[in-house]
Amino acid sequence: MNMKQKKLGLALGSGGWRGLAHVGVIKQLIKSGIKIDYIAGSSAGALVGGLYSALQDINQIEQIFRQQMNYRRLLYAFSDPRPKWGIFKGKRIEKIFEKYLKNKSIEDLKTPFCALTCDLLTGQVVEINKGSLSRALRASIAVPFVLEPVLWHKMRLIDGATAVPIPVKTVRQMGAEIVIAVNLQKNQFPMTDHKISSFKTLLKTTQVMLYHLAEHTSRPADLILKPDINENGNYSNPFSGFVSKRETIKDGERVVKKNLNRIKKLVNQ
């Protein structure tokens, strides 16, 4: 690796189970000798980025998803008593994070990290760069209607994807000289099944907004990677794919291989 490599930051985008591609992206970058200096993520991007920043072992993280994520564990994670602000409370999800992260604080991580969330009460973007990592990840994945918002210093924090699905500006402000954005929205459209319910129409409408927000927030990056994730454009459960779509990790590896020359040129210029 070139010892004069520019400081590289990853802006890891939201996308539910598609976030498995982030594992492949990080894995292939490391394998190719590319040092990652900063990470900012929203939702699934925060989950994978936070785990890597804390554990510093992408192979271990891959094994967590491959071996520990199964339908029985998902059922356990989403079996909280129903709260006032969402369908599930999310406390058990946070306990799963704590199992691997212990009591790690964001400010003590070897790789500087920031999780993106949004305050439901004020509509303001909230960048979490200190405090409990487990709590920050739980806040960043607080999908509206599904998980209860996280109470954090009098704020009610929800999924970062609602405001900044790909935090390019954040990771550049952290000190990154080169920013690579990972946009997971490539194959969500066009839809192939036009016979959908009103509920699915609502959910797909949310994806339309996310699609365009992701395009907008990723634009300032030096390079935008769009993994070619296999899906048919229809709505799918944002969590169950962590079990059924594990090949998505390979999609992340492939997009880095495809763009490796460009990446090396950017960080070594």
Positions marked catalytic: 43, 159
User: Reduced to 3 states, what is the DSSP secondary structure of residue 4?
Assistant: coil
Q: What angle do CA 57, 179, 32 make, to 5 degrees?
A: 45
Instruction: Provide the CB-side half-sphere exposure for 54 (13 A, CA).
Output: 26
Token digits for 77?
Answer: 């994670």
Pairwise CA distance, residues 182 & 6, whole Å: 19
CA distances in angstroms from 246 to 32, 66, 227, 241, listed in the order given: 22, 7, 14, 7
- Pairing status of strand 113-119 against strand 155-159: antiparallel
H or E element, residue 159: strand 155-159
User: Reduced to 3 states, what is the DSSP secondary structure of residue 23?
Assistant: helix
